[in-house]
């Protein structure tokens, strides 16, 4: 695959801004400001000294760069954004260090960038107003920022050439063949139709205010490959790195795994690859992760819902019963949340090939202030339902797969279900739209949640690619999604999804639903944000 085209802006700016020439020695180049230092200033608001940047906003309000970095408004890509009625302009080097016709201004230099950052004044003499922070920066710090901005978004990202934009979908070998084929049918059908319906796109002309914006759009077909991962998760990174070396991709689209997604997310973060909406109930996100967008925290969110509900009850002891990697992760998450609340937690783990042990039922009977949390699928719940005393029982809606029936409804004590989805019986227009799309294409809905998630991922990507135009830059794709709140209307199953800057999970809350008289009670369901 041809290498991405570099715009050549950084070497040129080194000559213009720092006076370098062909006779410069290596020691001279070593004295140039560091792009890494500029990157930290831009993204984190931290100076090369390690101290936070400081600024004044709205005339007299002091702020720290760690609270309000350049990335906060201009995006990680530097391609700008819209904030309400305000348009935040692009400040990537190819725009900043070139003349602008709208509004008309000369190209920036290091000196004029310093005036902008310190005084809020453009090279054309226009004041940017109170929203632009006025930073206290030395000349060396401005120089570091200049070098970083000069190279920011200056090349097409890997996985893109003049004809194709390539994606991968990761599926691990613990996914059933039926679910795998069901999701791939959606992805492949969507991509095939998208490519077929946009064959004449390269003949359309943009209508902008700059010479570059009047160039014809270059159409690129989508290519999506399945990256099948096998074996223990400890081996996944090596498999992913090999696949990426063989055929770089612009991003990951969808995906499926019944194991924790952390190793795949870590790969995406290290290689700065967008990982858009994987099909997993075991999300693992670091505090500073940027490149992976999830639908939900999955079972970890359910653990938060249960912890919130237990905090409102008179419970001092909890017994958790579980088997398998996913439930074990959820149990560990709940245990961590309850430890901070001085609640005693006992774990009962068993082999999923066996039936759950029943000896904990006696301990429940002798401890009325003890609640039972069953991180179990319906079959395992059925194996112990008749042995339980009248203790409070908490169940996972995800693991039950929506099967709120016998034996769940016949347990002797109070039963609650952690439910991060739309309320049972509630209409779901997005699911209806997707079902109609699938039906007209002969796609059977054997895994409706996973299939509809794959469909939404494709819709979101199509919207992003359309907005990127010719600027196929990974960070720009993610910045665009951060401001695509209207897309959430097309996401089924989840009740209150949102997209926004620094939000890596679309669904952030859920319900704890009681079961009374054989029915799931939704009339007084309270939305919980744990």
Domain boundary among 151, 181, 203: 151
Residue 316 lies in a domain: yes
Q: With a cut of 70, say whether residue 14 has pLDDT above it.
A: no
Judge if 45 and 171 occupy the same domain.
Answer: no
Q: With a cut of 80, say whether residue 186 has pLDDT above it.
A: yes
Judge if 111 and 54 occupy the same domain.
Answer: yes
Judge if 388 and 276 occupy the same domain.
Answer: no
Q: What mean pLDDT do residues 98-117 have? A: 90
Dihedral class, residue 277 (left if φ above 0, else alpha if ψ from -120 to 50, else beta): left
DSSP symbols for 168-202: EEEEETTS-HHHHHHHHHHHHHHHHHHHHHTTTGG
| pLDDT given at position 209 | 54
Q: With a cut of 50, say whether residue 13 has pLDDT above it.
A: no
Residue 144 lies in a domain: yes
Judge if 407 and 488 occupy the same domain.
Answer: no
Q: With a cut of 50, say whether residue 87 has pLDDT above it.
A: yes
Domain boundary among 130, 151, 172: 151
Render pLDDT for 346-367 as a digit per residue (tens, 0 to 9): 999 999 999 888 777 777 766 7
Judge if 516 and 378 occupy the same domain.
Answer: yes
| pLDDT given at position 28 | 39
Contacts by 327-333, CB closer than 8 A, 24 or more apart: 327/299, 327/375, 327/376, 327/396, 327/399, 328/375, 329/260, 329/282, 329/299, 329/300, 330/299, 330/300, 330/302, 330/303, 330/375, 330/396, 331/303, 331/373, 331/375, 333/299, 333/300, 333/303, 333/304
Judge if 197 and 229 occupy the same domain.
Answer: yes
Residue 159 lies in a domain: no
Domain boundary among 151, 185, 209: 151
Q: What is the CATH number of the domain that holds 40?
A: 1.10.760
Q: What mean pLDDT do residues 111-138 have? A: 91
Residue 156 lies in a domain: no
Mean pLDDT value across the chain: 87
Q: What mean pLDDT do residues 493-521 have? A: 92
Q: What mean pLDDT do residues 456-471 have? A: 94
Residue 158 lies in a domain: no
Residue 348 lies in a domain: yes
Residue 402 lies in a domain: yes
Q: How many domains does the chain have?
A: 3
Least confident stretch, 197-206, 265-274, 285-294, 432-441: 197-206
| pLDDT given at position 9 | 41
Judge if 292 and 435 occupy the same domain.
Answer: yes
Residue 60 lies in a domain: yes
Burial class of residue 502 (count of CB atoms within 10 Å of its CB; 0-12, 13-18, 19+)? exposed
What pLDDT band is residue 2 in, cutting at 50, 70 and 90? very low
CB atoms within 10 A of CB 101: 10
Q: With a cut of 50, say whether residue 296 has pLDDT above it.
A: yes
Judge if 401 and 375 occupy the same domain.
Answer: yes
Render pLDDT for 16-36 as a digit per residue (tens, 0 to 9): 344 433 333 333 334 456 889
Judge if 138 and 169 occupy the same domain.
Answer: no
Q: What mean pLDDT do residues 90-107 have? A: 89
Judge if 283 and 350 occupy the same domain.
Answer: no
Q: What is the CATH number of the domain that holds 283?
A: 3.40.50.2300
Q: With a cut of 60, say whether residue 252 has pLDDT above it.
A: yes
Render pLDDT for 206-231 as a digit per residue (tens, 0 to 9): 545 555 555 555 689 999 999 999 99
Judge if 313 and 336 occupy the same domain.
Answer: yes
Render pLDDT for 366-412 as a digit per residue (tens, 0 to 9): 677 889 999 999 889 888 887 887 789 999 999 998 777 766 667 77
Find the domain containing 401 and state its range.
300-419+511-520
What pLDDT band is residue 59 in, cutting at 50, 70 and 90? confident
Q: With a cut of 60, say whether residue 271 has pLDDT above it.
A: yes
Q: What mean pLDDT do residues 417-423 have? A: 96
Judge if 122 and 56 occupy the same domain.
Answer: yes
């Amino acid at each position: 695959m041809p290498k991405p085209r570099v715009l050549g802006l950084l070497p040129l700016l080194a000559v213009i801004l720092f006076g370098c020439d062909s006779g410069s020695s290596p020691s001279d180049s070593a004295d140039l400001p560091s792009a890494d230092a500029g990157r930290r200033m831009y993204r984190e608001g931290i100076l090369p000294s390690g101290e936070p940047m400081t600024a004044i906003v709205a005339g007299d309000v002091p702020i720290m760069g760690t609270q309000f970095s350049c990335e906060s408004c201009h995006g990680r890509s530097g391609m700008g954004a819209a904030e309400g009625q305000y348009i935040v302009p692009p400040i990537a080097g190819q725009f900043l260090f070139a003349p602008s016709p709208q509004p008309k201004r000369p190209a920036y230099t290091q000196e004029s960038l310093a005036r902008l950052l310190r005084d809020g004044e453009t090279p054309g003499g226009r004041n940017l107003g109170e929203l632009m922070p006025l930073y206290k920066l030395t000349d060396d710090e401005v120089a570091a920022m200049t070098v970083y901005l000069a190279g920011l978004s200056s090349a097409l990202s890997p996985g893109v050439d003049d004809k194709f934009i390539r994606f991968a979908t990761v599926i691990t070998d613990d996914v059933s063949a039926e679910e795998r084929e069901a999701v791939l049918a959606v992805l492949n059908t969507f991509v095939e139709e998208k490519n077929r319906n946009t064959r004449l796109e390269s003949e359309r002309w943009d209508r902008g205010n700059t010479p570059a914006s009047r160039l014809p759009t270059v159409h690129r077909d989508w290519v999506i490959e399945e990256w099948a991962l096998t074996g223990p998760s400890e081996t996944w990174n090596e498999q992913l790195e090999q696949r990426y070396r063989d055929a770089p991709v612009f991003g990951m689209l969808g995906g499926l795994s019944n194991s924790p997604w952390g190793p795949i997310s870590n790969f995406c973060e290290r290689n700065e690859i967008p990982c858009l909406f994987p099909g997993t109930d075991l999300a693992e996100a670091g505090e500073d992760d940027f490149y992976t967008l999830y639908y939900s925290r999955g079972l970890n969110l359910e653990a938060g819902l249960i912890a919130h509900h237990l905090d409102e009850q008179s419970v001092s002891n909890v017994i958790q019963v579980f088997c398998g990697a996913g439930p074990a992760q959820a149990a560990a998450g709940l245990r961590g949340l309850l430890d901070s609340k001085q609640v005693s937690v006992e774990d009962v783990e068993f082999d999923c090939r066996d039936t759950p042990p029943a000896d904990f039922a006696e301990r429940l009977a002798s401890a009325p202030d003890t609640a039972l949390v069953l991180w179990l699928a319906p079959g395992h719940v059925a194996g112990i339902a008749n042995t339980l005393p009248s203790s409070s029982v908490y169940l996972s809606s995800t693991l039950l797969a929506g099967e709120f029936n016998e034996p769940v409804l016949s347990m002797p004590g109070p039963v609650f279900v952690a439910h991060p989805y739309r309320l049972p019986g509630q209409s779901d227009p997005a699911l209806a739209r997707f079902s109609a799309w699938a039906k007209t294409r002969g796609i059977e809905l054997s895994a409706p949640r996973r299939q509809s998630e794959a469909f939404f991922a494709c819709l979101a990507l199509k919207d992003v690619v359309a907005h990127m135009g010719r600027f196929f830059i990974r960070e720009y794709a993610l910045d665009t999604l951060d401001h695509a709140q209207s897309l959430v209307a097309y996401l089924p199953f989840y009740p209150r999804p949102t997209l926004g800057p620094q939000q890596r999970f679309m669904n952030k809350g859920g319900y704890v639903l009681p079961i009374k008289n054989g029915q799931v009670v939704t009339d007084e369901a309270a939305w919980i944000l744990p």
